[in-house]
Structure 1
Amino acid sequence: MTIYKMLRFSLLVFSSILLVNAQVQIEPKLVNKNVERTIDLTSHLVKLTATITLENTGSSPISNYLVVLEPETAGNLSFISVKDALKEELKIKAVVVAGHKDKVFYNVQLKQPLGASRTAVIFLESVLTGALVPYPSEIAQKDKQLVRYFGSHYFYTPYQTNKQTTAVTLSSRNIENHTKLKPVSQSDSTINYGPYTDIAPFSFDEMSIHYENNSPFLTVTRLYRLIEISHWGNIAVEENIDVVHSGAKLKGPFSRYDYQRDTSSNHHSIKSYKTILPAAAYNIYYRDSNGNISTSTVRPRKDYIELELRPRFPLFGGWKSSYTLGYNVPSYQYLYKKGGNEYVLSMRLLDHIYDDMHVEELQTDVVLPVGVQNVKLSTPYDVHRLEDGKTYKYLDNLGRVVIRLKKTNLVEQHIQDLEITYQWDTITLIHEPILLALALFALFIIVIIYVRLDFSIHKSEKKE
């Protein structure tokens, strides 16, 4: 386990200790009657889903279900959720389990207590980042990219599992090697493990898959998102994005000639990618430190705007790039009047950058209008709120409140709305026009006084 993974793992354990004071016990009468697991390795993210059939073999109802993370991948977890048979979200939070303080557990609260001898179905989804390791770590320009995945053949759980199957979906049928815990079979780019029966709690058997994966290993190392609210009918959004190709590093020199001759689409370099913007976005700009990038393409769709971003140069392993993307949207789609002088802003904390995105660090600043009071913040998940700031815009002598939020290790599932509620008087709209009128009035007075003053040393007889 690398230092980075160890740090993230320790943070997960520490956060779980803070979330609960009492330790949770493992219910021995609860068993996994059947587990159908899928591991999606088609991109640079690892997406795990499991359909779990629970059975209560005891005599008293059970209201909670525990999910435990595999020790080697606990530090890679970015997102986790559990739904019931009706696809409704279940409450989930990190907990500490007695006798297993070295493991990361999540407690799932069932909608209805599971009665004796009854069964229920839940759906577990989790996303891991940084779990695919390029091997070899350096490749030439024309080489294919190979990666390795390490996991477990068994569904890692604190409960007895009666039956379990696992399907691993790969991005290519070119597989160098993989572990073969029987029964196992391969069909095209899918490896099927199981069924396995009568699996003891906390059973772990290492799974290793070495295969070809040329999907874009694009990682956003830092995303600074600025949202400026105006009650004149406009919301300005600007994103400063730093990206890096996190796949196998390029070994040797880069040949533009060979790159132009290579017409195959199955290549590990990144030529372009698509960003989704709101359908009402306008005044879109895309630039870097050298200026505007004219190779982008805007395609309006029915419910969104598709923006194809093409960097100034293709990205190979280890190569970095940074750019600025901005646009405006009408405020009536995101800003609502709750009643009286109270307003609610409902807008995305994080928006789409590219498919299967991974953002290592996000900072979102929301600039509120002049004169807001009683600001309340509601976020869809835990974020770190930095100290509120203050900024000054044109003809602004009072300053505007800036809500500053920060979070690390985000994926596409984190694209959710935040809500900011505040009080604001409509009379504040005339604040800037009054300042502009006063400035013009002062300028006219100065001009009037100036043209009437005589700064000459000698006065002519004609003027006298």
Structure 2
Amino acid sequence: MAKLRFCVVFVFYLLLKCETANVDNISSDIKIKNVDRTIDISTQLVKISTKITLENTGKAPVKNFLLAVEASAKDNLAFIGAKDSNGKELKLAETTVKGHDNVKFWRVELKEALAAGASAAVSSEAVLTKVLTPYPTEITQQEDQFVKYNGNLYYYSPYTVASQKTTVNTNTKSIESFTKVKPFQQQETSLQYGPTTNIAPFTEKELSVHYKNNSPFLTVTRVERLIELSHWGNIAIEETIEIEHTGAKLKGPFSRYDYQQDERSSSASVSSYKTLLPASAADVYYRDTNGNISTSRMRVKKDSVELDLRPRYPLFGGWRTHYTLGYNVPSYEYLYHSGNDYLLKMRIIDHIFDDMQVDEVVTKIILPEGTAGLKLNLPYAVTRLPDTLHHTYLDTKGRPVITFIKKNVVENHIQDFQLRYTFPRLLMFQEPLLVVGFLYALFLCVIIYVRLDFSIHKSEHPHKE
């Protein structure tokens, strides 16, 4: 009975520890002296850069602080990061705060503890997708695209902000309307708010801007990236990409004649875009369901291969396209080994186009047959699917396949994964030996068939007299 009670108490203790492991408190010792925030809405992405000056008003050193994202924006957040005054990345960990269940929090670990009475400068960056709404939602072929941005006028923080300035960059003079809260100033292509003083924690006020935005509103709805590794010196990469124009939909018919006469009249459409491949990419192919697309152009640069992709037809709002892009790279640039231990280091996704937003990336890694001890290290959280086997020619058991999914991807997610595994080097001779054995057996059968007589009776030959 005593043992049972001990087990129950121990289990309860573990559950309590697990619940409180990622729970933080808002420190009353931390104040924000100044915030200088820039909101870039010139493309289809909303990029928010913030310079923060922290102050420790307490008596004990502070090792971390909290970043917060309001409930209205947390589902659109694709990336968030922080750096210190020297530009070095700070470690972020997602956490929670009691009483603020609808808010997303991140605990930021400082490189050095902030002493009592001291100040420190920190910068943060956030990228949001699908925040800009086309208004009107439908336009004709010759019309410009106007969109609306709705966000928070104030820097959303769990701490009191002593002073704040906000700059909104639109990259256009065509601003139809915007929120007018004093003090504000309208310049040619930007709006400036502030300075505003003594902003309470978790303060929200709507910031709305209606302006012209003809930048490409392309959304990659799905990318299936296949990486097939060979220990004979080659890595084959193939991407199946589905793209949709998510801007204002095309109203009325499309005229190819008007489009060819003056492409500038269709400024909201997308006729081509640039994809960047690794500098060592070779044997590049680009095709859709109808076959090879020959209107693509490739330029080899020092650090990349620039591929100018032009779909079969221009993309207007609501239109879609689907294509496959593949190439080969040498394995010695990405594969390292010591004895039977191997390390594969490659990008999870490559640059598809500028200011890209990707709904879902499915990455599949096909390894040589016989690999074991797979250990995958990723730079951010993904959803890993169960490992499977891929069967192809000369395989006996099948090749291991690792698959993982990442949603809401932007350019900040172009980072490397690391895959460690073991592979007996003698297995490299498995396929050549299978080919030699098959040919040997085939020739042996031919020799036996030619040399031996399998007829039931011998043929009678006439005798010569």
TM-score range, shorter chain: over 0.9
Deviation at 1:21, TM superposition (A): 3.2
> Does the Cα contact within 8 Å between 2:259 and 2:266 map onto a contact in 1?
no
Name the stretch that deviates more: 198-207 or 454-463. Answer: 454-463
Partner of 1:444: 443
Query: Where do 1:112-261 residues align within 5 Å?
Result: 112-261=112-261
Please report how far the alpha carbon of residue 197 of structure 1 lies from its aligned counterpart in structure 2 after TM superposition.
1.1
**C-alpha displacement of 1:451:** 3.1
Cα deviations by residue, 1:265-315 (Å, 9 ceiling, x for unpaired): 871101000010111110000001110000000001111110000001100
1:20·1:95 contact (CA, 8 Å) conserved in 2? no
What are the superposed Cα offsets for residues 111-135 of structure 1, whole Å, 9 maximum, x if unpaired? 1121111100101101001011111
- For residue 168 of structure 2, give the secondary structure of its aligned residue in structure 1: strand
Q: Post-superposition shift, 1:104?
A: 1.4
In 2: Cα distance, 1:265 partner to 1:140 partner: 10
User: C-alpha separation between the residues in 2 aligned to 1:154 and 1:176?
Assistant: 22
Distance in 1 (CA, whole Å) between partners of 2:402 and 2:459 is 64
CA shift for structure 1 position 452: 4.2
Q: Output the CA distance in 1 between the equivalents of 2:18 and 2:280.
A: 42
**1:376 alignment counterpart:** 375
| Alignment deviations for residues 369-411 of structure 1 (CA, whole Å, 9 cap, x no partner) | 1211111110011111110011122211121111111111110
The 1-side partners of 2:462 and 2:232 are apart by: 52
Q: Percent identity?
A: 53
**CA shift for structure 1 position 439:** 1.0
Secondary structure at the aligned position of 2:386 is classed as coil
Q: Offset at 1:71?
A: 2.2
The aligned runs of 1:3-402 (5 Å cut-off) are 21=21, 23-264=23-264, 267-337=267-337, 339-402=338-401
Change (3 A) 1:459 1:52: same
C-alpha deviation, 1:198, in angstroms:
1.2
Farther off after superposition, 420-429 or 123-132: 420-429
Q: Matched residues in 2 for 1:426 and 1:456: separation?
A: 48
CA 1:236 to 1:247, structure 2 compared with 1: closer, same or farther past 3 Å? same
| In 2, Cα distance between equivalents of 1:463 and 1:443 | 36
Alpha carbons of 1:452 and 1:126: their partners in 2 closer, same or farther (altered >3 Å)? Answer: same
Q: Which 10-residue stretch deviates more, 61-70 or 138-147? A: 61-70
Q: 1:153 to 1:428 in 2, by over 3 A?
A: same
CA contact (8 A) 2:286 2:292 kept: yes
Unpaired stretches in structure 1, ≥5 consecutive residues: 1-16
- C-alpha distance 463-220 of structure 1, shift in aligned 2 (>3 A): farther
Q: Classify 1:266/1:64 alpha carbon distance in 2 versus 1 (closer, same or farther; 3 Å).
A: farther
Deviation readout 1:90-126 (Å, 9 max, x if unpaired): 1111211122122111111111121111100101101
CA contact (8 A) 1:236 1:329 kept: yes
1:411 aligns with 2:406: no
C-alpha contact (below 8 Å) 1:153/1:181 kept by paired residues: no
Cα distance in 2 for partners of 1:70, 1:245 equals 28
Secondary structure of 1:355's aligned partner: coil
* Bigger radius of gyration among the two: 2
Given that 1:172 and 1:189 are in contact with CA atoms closer than 8 Å, whether structure 2 keeps it comes out as yes
Which stretch of structure 1 is more off in the superposition, 262-271 or 228-237? 262-271
RMSD of aligned alpha carbons: 1.8
Cα distance, 1:182 vs structure 2: 1.1
C-alpha contact (below 8 Å) 2:82/2:125 kept by paired residues: yes
Alignment-mate amino acid for residue 376 of structure 2: L
**CA-CA distance at 1:455 after TM superposition:** 7.0
Contact 1:20/1:96 (8 A) holds in 2: no
- Report SS of the residue matched to 2:97: coil
Report deviation, 1:145.
Answer: 0.5
User: Do the aligned partners of residues 332 and 463 (structure 1) sit closer, same or farther apart at CA in structure 2, a change above 3 Å counting?
Assistant: farther
Matching residue of 1:424:
423
Once residues 458 and 291 of structure 1 are traced to their aligned partners in structure 2, the CA distance between those partners, rounded to angstroms, is 59
Change (3 A) 1:331 1:106: same
Q: Tell me if the contact between 2:242 and 2:323 (Cα under 8 Å) persists in the aligned partners.
A: yes
Worse overlay, 101-110 or 150-159: 101-110
Deviation at 1:453, TM superposition (A): 5.6
TM-score of the aligned structures, taking structure 1 as reference length: 0.93
Q: 2:19 & 2:405 partners in 1: Cα distance? A: 19
Instruction: Tell whether the 8 Å contact from 1:214 to 1:266 is kept in structure 2 after alignment.
Output: no
Deviation (angstroms), 1:252? 1.1
1:459 Cα deviation from its structure 2 partner = 5.7
Q: Distance in 1 between matches of 2:454 and 2:315?
A: 66
Once residues 188 and 294 of structure 2 are traced to their aligned partners in structure 1, the CA distance between those partners, rounded to angstroms, is 41
Q: 1:225 to 1:18 in 2, by over 3 A?
A: farther
Task: Check conservation: 1:385, 1:406, Cα contact below 8 A.
Answer: yes
Letter in 1 for 2:21: N
**Number of residue equivalences:** 447
Q: Do 2:169 and 2:190's aligned partners in 1 also have CA atoms closer than 8 Å?
A: yes
After superposition, the C-alpha distances for 1:201-238 in whole angstroms (9 at most, x for unaligned) are: 11111100000000000111000000011110101000
Instruction: Write the deviation string for residues 319-350 of structure 1: whole angstroms up to 9, x where unpaired.
Output: 0101000000000000001x321010000011
1:19-74 superposed Cα distances (whole Å, 9 cap, x missing partner): 96353111122111010000011110000110000111222222221111122111
Q: Report how far residue 447 of structure 1 moved.
A: 2.0
TM-superposition CA deviations, 1:159-206 (whole Å, max 9, x none): 111111111111321011001111111221111111111111111111
Amino acid in the other structure paired with 1:230: S
TM-score, normalised to structure 2, is 0.93
Cα distance in 1 for partners of 2:19, 2:317 equals: 39
Amino acid at match of 1:313: Y
DSSP-derived class of the 2:394 partner: coil
What is the CA distance between 1:87 and its match in structure 2?
1.1
Identify unmatched segments of 5+ residues in structure 2.
Answer: 1-16
C-alpha deviation, 1:442, in angstroms: 1.6
1:434 aligns with 2:433: yes
Alpha-carbon distance between aligned partners in 1 of 2:25 and 2:83, rounded to the nearest angstrom:
22
CA distance in 2, matches of 1:354, 1:420: 27
Distance 1:331 1:375 in 2: 18
